[in-house]
Structure 1
Amino acid sequence: MESQSLTYTALPRGRYFRLLKIHPGSPNDSLECELLTSELDHAPPYTAVSYVWGAPTETTTLTCSGHVCSITRSLADGLSRIRKDDQVQFAWADAICINQADTIEKGQQVDLMGSIYDAARDVIVWLGPDPTDSAPEAFRCLQVINEKIYTRTDVETFEPTKEEMPADIDTINGQKVTTFSSARRSVLGFVLGERGGKQCVRRLFDLPWFSRVWVLQEVGLATAATAHWGDASIDFSEIATFISNAYFIEDLRHFLGPETSETLMGAPLYALWNVWSTYGKKNSWMHRTPPLRAFADQLAAVCHIDFVLVLEASRYFSATNDLDHVYAFLGHPKARNPATGEPWLKANYSLDLKEQHRLVAASLAQESLNFLVQAHQTHESLRPGFDRPSWVPRWNEKKHPLHAEAFWEAWDASLRKSEREPFRAQVGVVVDQGEKLSVSALLIDSVDELTPTMEPSKFGPIGMDAGQMLEMCWDLARRKPHPYPPGESVLAFAATIRGYYKAQSEHLVEQLAGYAMYANPRFQETYLKPIRGMVEMNTALEARKNFGAAFKAHSSNRRFFNTRETGYWGTGPSVMQPGDVCAVLFGADVPFILRPAGTVREYKVVGECYIYGIVDGDAVRAWRKGEPGFVKEDIVLV
């Protein structure tokens, strides 16, 4: 907010903040308000605004405490949705309520911002103007589709015509089978197609609000949240539920089309999965919505939710200030060290970005080393002389197209989670050692042979490319002796390429065989049928969807490898190379690929990896038993 005459009075120490008192007015009246200082714990009921600041050149004016001030058009539109024509309203908006010119106050208020949104009566989400009048139809589609999926009325029975029948037939090993019941079909396409809904939904999720990092906290902490787009509005839970449905319902993604589906599976999905589902606020809009509550409960059941999981979303969003890729999450309950209750980091806008990242990494290392999965590397970043330590993630950088998705939440490679054993992790205390991290590790073996990177485009639709990658990995796995028992080798292979959790191991070989019947029938007939036998068609059809999706999600942008001495099988980052070292780091829940840095016991972090059995703690158990080949060493990450 800019004004030639308005000056901010310094806030008292403690949990004090400013509120905006909005005077009554009709839609055509200019905005008039006052700035009031209040203690957060005794503030009157207020509405917090979640909005995109918008272009600084698109401004308008309001009268604040008797002074004419310039604000962005986006903020003015958001405040207009709060104003009533007959009563005073209290609101909070960062651009006005924080003195943006005072970096010290800004840091203090950013530290308090999570509490501000948590304590708000409700949150208004201002998505922006709607020049194409798309909002009513987009919101209708979301509500109708969500309701049909929730009530299981998204599929209907119908009588197919002769012209429709051939489209329902598929072939497996020369046998014709129906890929779905010829008398049932999804109705979601009709909902989206009735009034141009597909295009309207696409315009909704293309809005800038969905790409900004600050909105994650603002909505996630809300007790109630309503989204406004132009003159239309919708409960925010409908938007979040639709994102969830798009993830789980293949038919919905099909009818939305590849571009909209890709958009939804990017920033919106990470917002839901890593942030909104992880707050655990009992009276929130998330908790009150049955499908979303079930989503959050399932996530909590299979994953260890920590600040590393929350920070994983940061790469998918944009921020004007790169420091905000961390600061925007400081209001999350996981933003504090559970042992001490202290924040992992306090907002400080005088920090250099490189130093901020190092401080966050060093702080997180007190609880676990799982933050290392976010240290995405390129060939350039692994070269000698690169100006950032390999163990420090660059949270402001967008996800590179060649980087694999990070997976670490459900495993326990070092038995950190199950046994609560203390571990060693210390940032160098000597001046010239500040960019080195000392840890303890089991160095398992070195990488020997690798496949080329498995590119996402080759996984679907199911065809020769996916089938060839399956056989390519199998051929490499069979080239040398391996440590897996004869009756377990196919299970180990299936688990490795799809990154299984132990709870998901049942029927895994059958799913692999069913998937291979589509993707590579010759491979199935030659290698899997003698072991597994024939697979029922219904199982094959289900495996085509489920195993294929898991194979793609886990192995995209990864390389299958074997190890030099022991013959372990694994999948690792695309930038790995022969001679890299497979290691279990004490304090980390997945194994890592490390690269010798030229000095004895110094290594660069290449990336996380999956090695069957090792991800579940087998190497640590073997070391404790004194089995040969497993030695604990103190190493340094540089």
Structure 2
Amino acid sequence: MPYTTVNEKDSELPRLEAQPPSTPRSICHYLNPFSTCFPLSRLFTSMPRVLYGHLPSNSIRLLHIHPGEPGTPIYCSLKLARIDDSLPEYEALSYVWGKQDVGMSIWLNGHKHTSGARLPKGSGKWGKRVIWVDALCINQKLKDEAYEKHHQVGLMREIYSRASRVLVWLGTDDSYQEAAPAFAILNAMAKANTHVGPGIPLLDSESEWVPVMALFINTWFTRMWAIQELVFARSATFIWGQEELSWEVISAAVGIIRACPALVAELETRQLTNAFLMHHLRNKKLSDVTSAHPFLHLLDLSRSFDVTYPEDKVFGLLGFTACKSKEKGTEMNLFIDPDYTRSPKEIYTDVARKLIQQSGNLDVLSYAMQYGVGGAEEVRKEEEMPTWVADWSSKNVVYPIAGLGPESRHMSGMGREMNVAATENPGIIKLAGVRVDVVEHVSKPVPFKHIREFDDEFKKLMEWCIKSRGSKDIHTAETLASMLTAGRQADGTLVKDPESHLADFCAYICEIDKTFLSTLWPSRAERLAVLAKENGNLGRARKATFRVLCHRSAFVTGGGRLALGLGGVRRGDIVAVLWGAQVPFVLRRGDEEVFELR
């Protein structure tokens, strides 16, 4: 399918610094008898005895819940349904991971099902209904799982978009006392439908936001699969404790929270940021989210979501790439084949090659950048990814300098046509370009800290820049402002007003150390100080430098150029411009005339 450029507003989407993933949990902790059923004797004579028969490639299984007496086991039957036929009305389940509870089980097609998959607690009130839930409708036996998952992953968009409703289970234990007040607050926010600014509090005290905070630490908002389960739903209902609330209400409240800096500062969590991404993508759906977001952009924005299997960092987004097959009339044409028999290394390498081929540029190389513990260079073992391939499962991410929107793209090597030659080794890519310079002096990498603690690290880097000048005054104010922000504004777009950008940068320098201006540029110091005072914005400059500098080092080349590279850059590394790339890259010579991306 074609991939278009990103709307400029998309550059404002938050990108979380990766955090340690929450402990993966299975469905079982929150799954309990969904409904009560027929007596066991009636069940065995009325239900099919085969648990999982062959599943045709264009079909799904639907779980039929049979009503019975309260307190009795749950009995269900699985029935096949073809995607290209008129499907019976059903609901799709999206659930939070939970701890395994071996003591619970259900009867499925006449068999006692003990795989660990359960149905949500408290759903006995529902009575008879038809649902789709991956843990029960896909055969989880190891010998069959890869085959079935291969076909079912390709149908995920269809499964969730054709369901009458998606039920999002956040946990239904009676202990969830925050559910009622949290949903009441979100309801009030959505009905108010207004901007909540400083001095206009919605609640009387900060403590009243605690229930909302409890909602936005729920691990459902970290599940990779939850993105497309929600975005493609006709409608979605969240069930938490004994309460229910529509996604439209939650989404409206999330939009209001994101528009209020004070609320963001109070409530900011990885889950809230992820909820805002879902809010954004679902609102984009009407204008075709699949064309508004290149696959590379989705891979990057979803890095803070968790998976059990690393390949699902790719497979969990394939619904956004699905397009109609003219021959079959179903959504089976995907960006990449969801083959679970392949290793993550093979899958990620294939993704990188396809992104390069389809986009005609080398943007994906900028997403292969990673850092090691404490900012040290990441050591890639032989079985790990090639250095030019992005490891989408890694939490050691660095903010990419390459942009995605038309007003966010650098043009380093974009003036020449990309040249990719075939190689026998799939882990090696052959590119054309030109050697520009060699690394001579390198600063210590800037460690990641909270933005409120970033000023000290910025000061150390500025002091290094002063010492590294040597006999050449290579650091004009404009050069330094551009280099230390990668030529980008606080929102990630390219600098449009150099004078305003310089004013912001000088305001930040004056905040850190007023002597820096006179030390670096004595003849211009007074004029720059006035520019900073009259037009500078400290907050914008701090944000612009923070996002670019964390886990990076400044370096000076043999030719006197000032640049940024990953923390592992060394003296002697080569700076090269590759045709089709937005930015220069640092390369290190490896074995047999092969270079590594650094």
TM (norm. structure 2) is 0.76
Contact in 2 for aligned 1:45/1:90 (Cα 8 Å)? yes
Cross-structure match for 2:182: 138
Is the counterpart of residue 502 in structure 1 residue 494 in structure 2?
A: yes
Structure 2 portions without partners, runs of 5+: 1-26, 29-43, 326-331
Q: For 2:312, which of 321, 324, 338 is the aligned residue?
A: 324
Contact in 1 for aligned 2:442/2:553 (Cα 8 Å)? yes
Cross-structure match for 1:569: 562
Cross-structure match for 1:374: 367
Cross-structure match for 1:160: none
Cross-structure match for 2:507: 514
Secondary structure, counterpart of 1:365 in structure 2: helix
Structure 2 vs 1, CA of residues 312 and 488 (structure 1 numbering), >3 Å: closer, same or farther? closer
Contact in 1 for aligned 2:51/2:109 (Cα 8 Å)? no
* CA deviation string 1:191-227 (max 9, x = no partner): 5423xx32x3333233232232222221222232222
Q: Residues 162-177 of structure 1: matches in 2 within 5 Å? A: none
Cross-structure match for 1:396: 393
* CA deviation string 1:111-164 (max 9, x = no partner): 21122112222211111134241122233344455666x523433xxxxxxxxx
In structure 2, give the amino acid aligned to 1:441.
Answer: G
Is the counterpart of residue 424 in structure 1 residue 419 in structure 2?
A: yes
Q: Aligned partners of 1:495 and 1:64: how far apart in 2?
A: 59
Q: Shift of the alpha carbon at 1:324?
A: 2.0
In structure 2, give the amino acid aligned to 1:269.
Answer: T
Q: Aligned partners of 1:376 and 1:205: how far apart in 2?
A: 29
Cross-structure match for 2:56: 12
Q: Aligned partners of 1:571 and 1:334: how far apart in 2?
A: 38
Is the counterpart of residue 47 in structure 1 residue 58 in structure 2?
A: no
Contact in 2 for aligned 1:62/1:68 (Cα 8 Å)? yes
Cross-structure match for 1:210: 221
The CA RMSD over aligned residues, in Å, is: 4.0
Cross-structure match for 1:93: 133
Structure 1 portions without partners, runs of 5+: 156-184, 288-292, 607-638
Q: Aligned partners of 1:535 and 1:188: how far apart in 2?
A: 39
Q: For 2:546, which of 549, 552, 555 is the aligned residue?
A: 552
Secondary structure, counterpart of 1:588 in structure 2: coil
Q: Shift of the alpha carbon at 1:520?
A: 2.6
Q: Aligned partners of 1:460 and 1:479: how far apart in 2?
A: 35
Contact in 2 for aligned 1:425/1:437 (Cα 8 Å)? yes
Structure 2 vs 1, CA of residues 245 and 521 (structure 1 numbering), >3 Å: closer, same or farther? farther
Cross-structure match for 2:201: 187
Structure 2 vs 1, CA of residues 478 and 7 (structure 1 numbering), >3 Å: closer, same or farther? same
Q: Shift of the alpha carbon at 1:461?
A: 4.7
Q: For 2:236, which of 222, 225, 231 is the aligned residue?
A: 225
How many residues in Structure 1 have an aligned counterpart in Structure 2?
A: 528
Cross-structure match for 1:121: 164
Q: Shift of the alpha carbon at 1:110?
A: 1.3
Cross-structure match for 2:300: 312
Cross-structure match for 1:532: 528
Secondary structure, counterpart of 2:449 in structure 1: helix
Contact in 1 for aligned 2:106/2:112 (Cα 8 Å)? yes
Structure 2 vs 1, CA of residues 376 and 241 (structure 1 numbering), >3 Å: closer, same or farther? farther
Q: Aligned partners of 1:497 and 1:480: how far apart in 2?
A: 22
In structure 2, give the amino acid aligned to 1:218.
Answer: E
Q: Aligned partners of 2:187 and 2:456: how far apart in 1?
A: 39
Structure 2 vs 1, CA of residues 76 and 371 (structure 1 numbering), >3 Å: closer, same or farther? same
| Greater relative CO (CA pairs within 8 A, separation 6+) | 2
Contact in 2 for aligned 1:142/1:242 (Cα 8 Å)? yes
TM (norm. structure 1) is 0.71
Q: For 1:452, which of 444, 452, 471 is the aligned residue?
A: 444
